[in-house]
Chain A
């Protein structure tokens, strides 16, 4: 019998649509897999067994009634715990929201339901999506299926680990500085950050509003494209959502899978191939460049001189916005409340609640952001960072006048051992060195597995102009057709 958990989303949807299996069977298979491996992987914060089976039964009933099913109907999906799910706990990896059950679904969750996907549960993440390893989750880290002593990346390490461990074929992540792509890279899976505004943020618990972008995680480029198409497109509830129709990413992935990149011009970001990345990562990257050349792509080197300022600019903008976005966790209306003994003042209760509810990295960024926005420092920090953002956008615009898409390693290093980088925040921040410029610019980026370094996966990043998400899917699918997919050792 086929192991349903080893199939792609496309294959599962085909079997369900053809009546060769049922959505309930598919769901049970994945729930069984979760039960078998979760103790070692810890990808989920909440598994919604009953909700998943009910959703699966609904798909089977619709099929039995002869209704036409969408391309992902009956496919299980894991949702990062950053998206609100009606009646289902949403913690954002934080103690401060422990036990909170939102009264509403995020737009993306609504669309997932409408597409007939089956939500298995909510995945682990660094608290409020701040981190690159899930070690800052208030509920303990997730483990990389390639090596359980190593991190699965972050902040969306739970989603990536769930996919890599065959607990789900699809997952939703959110990418503020690399939180979809870097976990994808270190777990040997595909993670795409759509154009900012191409996927709705309504119901995405905010970390940094001008950077947060929800997107798809999958084991193949085509699966990611299908999920992207299902969740993307204009949402009137999100003012920053783009009203224009999004490009056909599924068609682009199918075109790329033919393995022909003739006429496609790719730029290697010269600033990203010097020092900074591990030799094994660079070796895999260069082999992939050769593979892309063989597929017909023309490859040139492109300089983006301001990218070196991206990391510091990011660490002013994101904390500034987070310091404001996270103010509402004050114990008044929802979530944790500490110290309300009837004698303490409002300010004391707010302070004690935030002291107890937030972890060290969240506190660090709230402090940074509060400082950067303070009167007298605003121009020097937040204002200056916004100027850098403009310069980085110009670098991208100039680069895309020369090439169709840019490529780089996704992250400078392979999955590191749990605990290796928590002592020095800067060492952790470096994980997002290559992914952050895209967030500051607002364009799309995808990480696709491109090889192994000492037995651990390496990802290649493709960056495209805003609203040209199709281009990155084409290139990523072409590379995938050349290098194949990567399977972790059996758990």
Chain B
């Protein structure tokens, strides 16, 4: 069935979207949730396993205190209440990547509940309600071999890697977010971005969407103005911030086209398609499961002491949004300038560069200018460009000391990005330092004057502007390694003209 999708502006003029987000975060604890196996990413399949995370008969889980602490800190950072008493529950369903054929999760007694996260969209603050934050264990990973699609259907063989099984996973569920109209896709993205920054500032996870340590499911529904909320769909496989925004948008368009045609939205799980930006149906209703939740009898209830929670709360770091506001003031940036810093993902980089000795203006110039340009060209994240804040600060120090001019500094930066070493080393190795030896420079100037008698005569007669041609000639013979201002002064001096 091919349908022409309606225009976005048209959709938001006629329908009101409601979104909701479920985010899974793999915690960066040293060991798994219920056993002592290591959690690092990668590793030969099935090497980071033991009787517990393989669910062998007789094995028992023991909860990881570091994971409980991280979850409480996340809850506190999201302004949640921390349950004085909560329990793990078993979520029962058969699937080979779940060693016990049930997942230890939390059901009606989550560790953290009723919070919020404020996010900024177009300068406006939107408060996203947090329904719950709970702790569970991750599943293993299935690999289906031999099929065309990599999915289980048509595969000749299925392999399971349990290295990931049992890694602590925090699920953060928002309340439904209505009333945001056309901004829905941007709000969704802003929320996940802000949440990622909060989690990063807490140091509880490396929050890498591409490695799956931060995973997002997006719920979307449409309703007519004034009507009840529509049936929602859940879109999975949303693996980047950009995809979050695209997934909401495309699902709004798809639902509108269904509704426009007099159709009905089916409550279902859909999968985001990175290539097309659309969604396609996932698990069908026929296999919808009754998870038969019940309290996990192998684990004692969690009862975090109030004093401990208070201690964790007092030790929370400054939240990213407040932190950014403080930086904006310190750096003296307008809202628009700050926004471009944010969009470039350069806040922490600039902050670190300033901490390493550069002025905010210089730090911003490098990260938003040359480095952002190169990041865009090569399609990598700015943070992964290959230059560190320390190197950028060092580079700027060389400029400030007059050892590099702007053009040379850019060349040195190329070397830094290429991994040739520190700016000072590159400057020395490539012989890029500004020619400041006046003897050599005077010789070059005299040579230029001798080679261009006509121009020299004009300058002598008072046409100072003509000196530009001589400056150019000197820069050429010094391969750009001279300071243009010094060269100009020297030329005027030699020709007895006044600047």
| Contact indicator A239/B292 (Cβ below 8 Å) | no
Query: Complex formed: what's the CA distance from A201 to B57 in Å?
Result: 11
A202 x B59 contact (CB < 8 A): yes
> Once the chains bind, are A373 and B59 in contact (CB under 8 Å)?
no
- The answer to whether A84 touches B58, judged by C-beta atoms less than 8 angstroms apart, is yes
Given A239-B63, A327-B102, A375-B290; A102-B298 close (CB under 8 Å): no
Contact (Cβ within 8 A) B60 A97: no
- Tell me if A238 and B55 are in contact (CB < 8 A): no
A294 interface residue, CB < 8 Å from B? Answer: no
Cα separation A269 to B54 with both chains bound (whole Å) = 44
A453 at the binding interface (Cβ < 8 Å)? no
Q: B464 an interface residue at 8 Å Cβ cutoff?
A: no
Selected contact of B292 from candidates A84, A202, A370, CB within 8 Å = A370
Q: A321-B297, A324-B292 are in contact. Are A330 and B96 (CB under 8 A)?
A: yes
Contact A375 B54 (CB under 8 A): no
Min CB gap A440→B, angstroms:
13
Asked if B92 CB lies within 8 Å of chain A CBs, one says yes
Q: Decide yes or no whether A320 CB sits under 8 A from chain B.
A: yes
Indicate if the CB atoms of A102 and B100 lie closer than 8 Å. Answer: no
Cα of A333 to Cα of B158 in the assembled complex, Å: 12
A350 vs B95: C-alpha distance in the bound complex, in angstroms?
10
Judge if A382 is at the interface, Cβ distance under 8 Å: yes
Q: Contacts A327-B92, A332-B160, A350-B94 given; indicate if A378 touches B57 (C-beta within 8 A).
A: no
Would you call A481 an interface residue if the criterion is a C-beta within 8 Å of the partner chain's C-beta atoms? no
With contacts A328-B101, A374-B292 taken as known, whether A210 is within 8 angstroms of B59 at the C-beta atoms is no
Residue from A320, A327, A375 within 8 A of B101 (CB atoms): A327
Residues in B whose Cβ lies below 8 Å from that of A202 = 58-60
Query: Is A203 in contact with B292, judged by CB distance below 8 angstroms?
Result: no
Selected contact of A239 from candidates B54, B56, B100, B300, CB within 8 Å: B300
Contact A237 B62 (CB under 8 A): yes
Q: A83-B58, A240-B298, A374-B292 are in contact. Are A324 and B102 (CB under 8 A)?
A: yes
* Those of A201-223 within 8 Å (CB) of chain B: 201-206, 208-210
Please tell me if A19 contacts chain B, counting CB pairs below 8 Å: no
CB atoms of A239 and B58 under 8 A apart: no
Bound Cα distance from A203 to B57, whole angstroms: 7
Q: Which residue of B lies closest to A85 (CB)?
A: B58
Contact of A210 with B297 at beta-carbon distance under 8 Å, contacts A104-B56, A202-B60, A203-B59 already known: yes
Q: Quick check: is B143 within 8 A (CB to CB) of the other chain?
A: no
Q: Is B60 a contact of A102 with CB atoms below 8 Å?
A: no
Nearest CB on A from B188, distance (A): 30
Complex contact B58–A373 (CB within 8 A): no
A334 touches B160 (CB 8 A): no
Partner of B294, one of A83, A104, A239, A373: A373
Which listed residue, B55, B62, B292, touches A373 by the CB 8 Å rule?
Answer: B292
Determine whether A90 belongs to the interface, using a CB cutoff of 8 Å to chain B: yes
Contact A106 B58 (CB under 8 A): yes
A100 to B152, CA, bound (A): 28
From B54, B56, B61, name the one whose CB has the most chain A CB atoms within 10 angstroms.
B56
Q: Which DSSP category, helix, strand, loop or mixed, fits chain B's interface?
A: loop
- A328 close to B62 (CB less than 8 A): no
C-alpha spacing A328/B290, complex, angstroms: 17
Is the C-beta of B90 less than 8 angstroms from some C-beta in chain A?
Answer: yes
Q: Which of B253-292 contact A (CB under 8 A)?
A: 290, 292
Known: A84-B58, A205-B57, A239-B63. A378 touches B299 (CB 8 A): no
Question: A104-B56, A206-B58, A240-B300 known; A328 and B99 CB under 8 Å?
Answer: yes
Q: Which residues of B contact A382 (CB under 8 A)?
A: 294
B51 interface residue, CB < 8 Å from A? yes
Residue of A nearest to B91 (CB): A324
**Given known A-B contacts A239-B299, A327-B101, A375-B292, A346 and B96 have beta carbons under 8 A apart:** yes
By a CB distance below 8 angstroms, the chain A residues around B57 are 84, 90, 92, 97, 100, 102, 205-206, 328, 334
Asked if residues B58 and A203 are in contact (CB atoms below 8 Å), the reply is: yes
Say whether B60 contacts A333, CB under 8 Å: no
Which of B54, B59, B101 has its CB near the most chain A CB atoms (within 10 A)? B59
Report Cα–Cα, A315/B294, bound state, in Å.
Answer: 16
Q: Specify which chain A residues have a CB less than 8 angstroms from the CB of B102 in the assembled complex.
A: 324, 327
B90 and A102: CB pair below 8 A? Answer: no
Contact present for B294 and A201 (CB under 8 Å): no
* 0/1 string, B17-57, CB within 8 A of A gives 1: 00000000000000000000000000000000001001111
A69-91 residues with Cβ-Cβ distance < 8 A to B are: 83-84, 90
A245 close to chain B: CB less than 8 A: no
Minimum C-beta distance from A347 to chain B (A)? 8
Within the assembled complex, what's the spacing in Å between the Cα atoms of A202 and B102? 18
Asked if B292 and A238 sit within 8 Å, CB to CB, the answer is no
Residues B62 and A239 in contact, CB atoms below 8 Å apart: yes
The residue in chain B whose Cβ has the minimal distance to the Cβ of A331 is B96
CA distance A201 to B292 in the complex (A): 24
Interface string of B297-331 (1 = CB under 8 A from A): 11110000000000000000000000000000000
Query: For A342, what are the chain B residues with a Cβ–Cβ distance below 8 Å?
Result: 156
Q: Is the CB of A334 within 8 A of B92?
A: no
Contact check, B300 vs A324: say whether CB atoms are below 8 A apart. no
A-contact 0/1 string along B347-358, CB 8 Å cutoff: 000000000000
Picked from A83, A103, A201, A236, the residue with its CB within 8 Å of the CB of B56 is: A103
Cα(A206)–Cα(B56), bound, Å: 10
Provide the bound-state CA to CA distance between A84 and B58, in Å: 7
Find residues 297-336 in chain A having any chain B CB closer than 8 Å to their own CB: 320-321, 323-324, 327-328, 330, 332-334
**7 residue pairs, one from A and one from B, having the closest CB atoms:** A327-B101, A209-B297, A373-B292, A210-B297, A203-B58, A205-B57, A84-B58
Other A-B pairs beyond A209-B298, A330-B94, 6, CB < 8 Å:
A84-B58, A205-B58, A239-B298, A240-B300, A324-B294, A333-B99
Chain A residues in contact with chain B, CB under 8 A? 83-84, 90, 92, 97, 100, 102-104, 106, 201-206, 208-210, 236-240, 320-321, 323-324, 327-328, 330, 332-334, 342, 346-347, 350, 370, 373-375, 378, 382
Q: List 17 A-B contacts (CB under 8 A).
A: A84-B58, A90-B57, A102-B57, A103-B51, A103-B56, A104-B51, A104-B59, A106-B58, A206-B57, A209-B298, A239-B298, A239-B300, A324-B92, A328-B101, A342-B156, A346-B96, A374-B290
Question: Which residues of B are at the interface with A, using a C-beta cutoff of 8 A?
Answer: 51, 54-63, 90, 92, 94, 96, 99-102, 152, 156, 158, 160, 290, 292-294, 297-300
